[in-house]
Every structure is written in structure tokens, then in C-alpha cells.
Structure 1
């Protein structure tokens, strides 16, 4: 009687056979193949939305800066309208932060520092007013402002002639078109070139897909470009 009981107990506790394990592994593989791309798309979409939210916040603060000083930060006016200023360049990065924060950010020490009295950078925010309080999430591992993929090639353009529009330069347009063709049909992008050449806002901040492969940055714009790329 005892032996029969033990045999029944052992039969209930037996492990998976090799065939059963292979079947389970195969099923998991199929599920991962089906869900993997969707999970990746969800993660990418989340990062795009996060970066876009940050960019739009900066746009809002630049509008406040313009309202307060009656002009945009001087460093954004050094080039012709439609020529983007890259925040990955050290001087532009420092000027942008001073303009919105009223203090210097030391990427090496990762700490805030006052602006030197005799520094020309003080011209970016003469009264040292704080328009934006930068958070840790807005910086990459190297201490520079970055997108959600740690890419630092963030571009900023502003309306310089007061018409409420930003007419992008030809180089900027070509760069944007090339990047958008990673996400949309080439013909659709080319047909929208004229509309994409003008930003119908006073400030535009964006980052483009990194075609060099150095970072995983995707296309993110503070303004709506998708409405020009919808198929009829």
C-alpha cells in the first residue's frame, strides 16, 4: 500500500520531458517574435513623447524669455533665420542653459555655478532670471542636454523677422527630408517639401534620426510635422 502511494506521488511530481521543454521554448520563441517588435515600438513611442514634451517645455520658456526681454537669446540670432543652432556645441549649450536658467552648468562637475561678472555669456540673460528649472532627466551621461536616447544633436531655430514663421535654410530642409524618409514613404516626404520648409511657429526645437549609427536617436519635433505626411 505504501509503495503504491509513493509511486502515485512520484508520478505527480515528475518533471518535464525533453520534448515538452522544447515545445515550451518554441512557443516562447514564437511569442517573442510576435511581441518583440510591438514592445520595441511602444518603448520608442514613449521616448519620442518624452523628448517632445521636454522640447515643447523649452519652447514655452523661450517664449517667456522673449516676452520678458523683447528678443530671443542673442546666440540664437547669430546665424540667418532657418539655420539651426546645435546644442551639442559647447558654446551654444552653455548659452542656451544660461538663457533659460540664469546660471552656468558645468558638465564636468555636473553642478550649477554663477555666471562670472565679466563674462560675455551674461548677455544671454542679463538679469539672471530663471525661466526653466532643468531636471536630471534632461541631461545625458556626459552632462549635456540630451534626447531620450542620450543624443545631444538637438537643434534650435527661432523666428527672427517677427512674422510668426521660421523659413528653414536649404541645408536644414534637406537634412530633415532625409531623416523623415526613415519613417515615411519617400514620395510622400518629397511632396511635402514646401510645407516642411516652413515652421509655422516662432520657435522650433528638434532632433533627427542618427543615420551615422552613433546614437539611437529618432526623429522628434516640437511642432507637428505629421499632418503634412499623411497620405490622401
Structure 2
């Protein structure tokens, strides 16, 4: 009786009652669906969370609920593929809000999985979103790439992340956007103490110096 009743009562969520209605998502996903173990039941869990992602993104509700679900069950290897499949299927959704939320869920997931999954499943997805047509989505990849540098010690993974940052730097139209520069400053300031000396000395510090120089020049031009 739990599933039919719950599915019916949560078929529509208004903006006003969003926070009140979101909470049961976590309880149902982690307390009911995760207690099932057959392939069909796990497929139902996958579909349920995917539908919740679409609902929450389309109505621009807070993503805290889904982050809680991923944090709760993401460390269980029995469900990691299901959770990653949801994010993979969301990469090309036409709604940029869904792609943005997908990024935020990747950020939660990468702290719960091994380096192989990061290398083979998460990093390729992030690289795809790093060239997204929506600059807000592209910008949101920056802190996630930064988190990978902090979380991983595998040289192969780090080199791919460094290469992506270099691609960002080469795209001056993207790099020189104010919101992008702000995100770079925030991310690099947070991760710099934990990065390899070579990357910090050869990329982060010159990059931040360039931004500082550009900002100083712009202020001088406005003042003259």
C-alpha cells in the first residue's frame, strides 16, 4: 500500500508546498525502495529518482532532497550504477536546470565512489558538461573539477582535469566572463593548498595573477 499511496500523493508539487512535499522523497527512496533487491525493483528505484529529478528541476525546487538521497545510498556499491545511470541519462536533457542539478549530484557522488568510477564514468560526463551551451552549466563544472583534484591522487585522473582547466584558459571568451572568473577565484583559493606544487605554480598562481591584472586594468580604465 505504501507505493501506490505515495506515488499518488506526490504526483504534483506546487512551489508553495515544495519543501513540505520534498521530504518524503528521501524516506521513500532510502527506506522503501532500497530495501528491495531484485533487478526489477532496482529499476524502479532508478526510475523513481530520475522522475524526482525531473520534477524538482522543472519546478525549480531545492535539490537538497536529491543530494540527501545520493549521500545516503551512494556509498552502497549495490546502488552506485543505478545512481550513475540517472546522471548519465540527464546529461543531454534539454532543460539546463536538470543538467545543472546533475552536476551538483555528481559532486556528491565522486566523494563516495572509487577512482575507477571517477575515471570511467564521472569524469567523461563532466567533460561533456564543460562544453555545455549554457554558460551557467559550464561554470558550474569548475568547482566539481576542483573537487576531483582534492579527492583523487591518481595521476591519470589529475592530468585529465588539468587539461580541462587548460582548455578553459584557452577559451578567452569563457574565461573572461565575470561570473566565470569569480568561480575560478573561489575554487582555486579553496583547492590550492591541496594541489600538486607543479599545477599550483604553473597554472593556478599565473591564472589568478592574470585575472588580478585584468581587473586592475579595467579599474584604471574606468577611473581615467
Query: Whose RCO is larger (CA < 8 A, sep 6+)?
Result: 1
Q: Normalised by the size of structure 2, how large is the TM-score?
A: 0.24
- Which one has a larger percent helix, Structure 1 or Structure 2? 2
- Which one has a larger percent strand, Structure 1 or Structure 2? 1
Structure with bigger gyration radius: 1
